[in-house]
Amino acid sequence: MESFIKFTNQSQGRDRIFRTTQYACAFIKYLLRNKAARQELVKKLQSLESNMSSGRKLFRLGNTVNAVDAAKRTLRLSDPVLRFCLTVVNINRALYFVCDNVLWARNVGLIRDIDKERWSFNASRCYYFSLVMSLTRDVYVITQIMVQRARQRRHQQKVDQNQNDHRDVASVLVPKLDDFLFLLYESLRSNPPVVLDTVKNVCDLFIPLDRLGIYQTNAGVVGFCGLVSSLLGILSVVRPTLKITP
C-alpha cells in the first residue's frame, strides 16, 4: 500500500495511470467496435479515453522546462554518442511539449486561431524523432555491453587455452551466428533496464508512425502498443532500478 501511495503521489505516476487507462480504452474500444450490443459501452470508453488524454495534457504543462533542463545535463555527458542522442531526445521532447501545450490551450478555448491538425502533426513528428534517437541510444548501449562481454569471453578462452594447451582453439569457439545470438541473449538478460527501455520505445514508435502515415496500422495495434508501453512505464516508476541511466 505504501508503494502504491508513493507511486500515485508522483506526477509521473499519475500520468502513467492516465496513459494506461487511455490506451486500454482505445484497445478495448477497437475489440468491441463491431458488436452492436456493446455500442453504449464503446461510447463510454470513447469519452473516458478523451478525458484521460485531456488530463494528461494538463499534467504535462511545464514539462518543456524539465526537458530543456535535461538537455543541458546531457550536454555534459562524457560519451559523445550518448551526449548526442540524449540531447536530441530532450530537445525533441521539449518541442513536443510546446506543441502539446498549445493543443491543450486550443482544446480549452484559450487559443482559437491555430491550425490544430498542423500542431498535432508537428507534435507527432517531434515525438517520432525523440523515439528514434532513444532507440539509437538503446542499440548503442546494447552494442557496448556486447563488446564488453565479448572481450571478457575472449580473455577467459585465452586463460582456458593456456591451461589446456592440447585443446584445439576451434573446439572452444561457437559458430559465428550462434555466438552473436548467445552474446546478445547474455547481454540482455544481465541488463533488464535496457530490455525494458528498448521494448517500451519500440511499442511507442508505432504511435507516431501511424499518425504520421509512415507505417499505418489500426487503432487496435496503436492501443495495444500504447497499453504495453504504459505498463512498462509504470514498472520503471515503481522500481527505479529498472530505469535505464543515463
Q: What is the mean pLDDT of the chain?
A: 87
Cβ burial 203-234 (10 Å sphere, 16+ → b, else e)? bbbbbbbbbeeeeeeeeebbbbbbbbbbbbbb
Instruction: Identify the pLDDT of residue 170.
Output: 44
| Residue 6, pLDDT above cutoff 70 | no
- Please report which confidence band the pLDDT of residue 57 belongs to, taking 50, 70 and 90 as the band edges: confident
Average pLDDT (225-242) is 93
Whether residue 199 has pLDDT greater than 80: yes
The DSSP string of 112-132 is -SS-HHHHHHHHHHHHHHHHH
Q: What one-letter code names the amino acid at 195?
A: V
Cell of 97: 511539449
Residue 192 in any domain: the answer is: no
Q: 155 lies in a domain?
A: no
- Determine, yes or no, domain membership for 117: yes
pLDDT at 209 over 80: yes
Q: Is residue 50 part of a domain?
A: yes
- C-alpha distances out from residue 175 to 151, 154, 170, 178, Å: 17, 14, 9, 5
> Model confidence over 106-125: pLDDT tens digits?
888 888 888 999 999 999 99
Q: Is residue 151 part of a domain?
A: no
Q: Give the Cα separation of 163 and 151 in Å (integer).
A: 19
Read off the amino acid at residue 25.
C
CB 25 within 8 A of CB 45: yes
Domain tally, the chain: 1
Query: What's the pTM?
Result: 0.87
pLDDT at residue 2 greater than cutoff 70: no
Q: Are 91 and 71 in contact (CB under 8 A)?
A: yes
Whether 180 is in a domain gets the answer: no
Percent over 90 (pLDDT), the chain: 60
Residues 6+ apart with CB under 8 A from 96: 123, 126, 127, 130
Question: Is 40 within a domain?
Answer: yes
What confidence score (pLDDT) does residue 197 get?
Answer: 96
Q: Rounded to a whole number, what is the largest CA-CA distance in the chain?
A: 81
The per-residue pLDDT for 3 is 62
- What does DSSP assign to residue 243? S
pLDDT given at position 9: 56
Amino acid at 160: D
- Domain-located, residue 87: yes
**pLDDT per residue as tens digits for the range 131-158:** 999 999 999 999 999 988 888 878 777 7
Query: What pLDDT does 4 receive?
Result: 55
Phi, psi angles (nearest 5°) of residue 85: -60, -50
More reliable by pLDDT, 168 or 71: 71
Per-residue pLDDT at 87 exceeds 60: yes
pLDDT at 117 (0 to 100): 92
Beta-strand (E) ranges in the chain? none
pLDDT at 245: 86
Residue range(s) defining the domain that contains residue 214? 2-133+198-242
Q: How far is CA 54 from the centre of its chain?
A: 21
According to DSSP, residue 36 is labeled G
Mean pLDDT, residues 51-70 taken together: 89
Q: How far is 202 from 205, CA to CA, in rounded Å?
A: 5
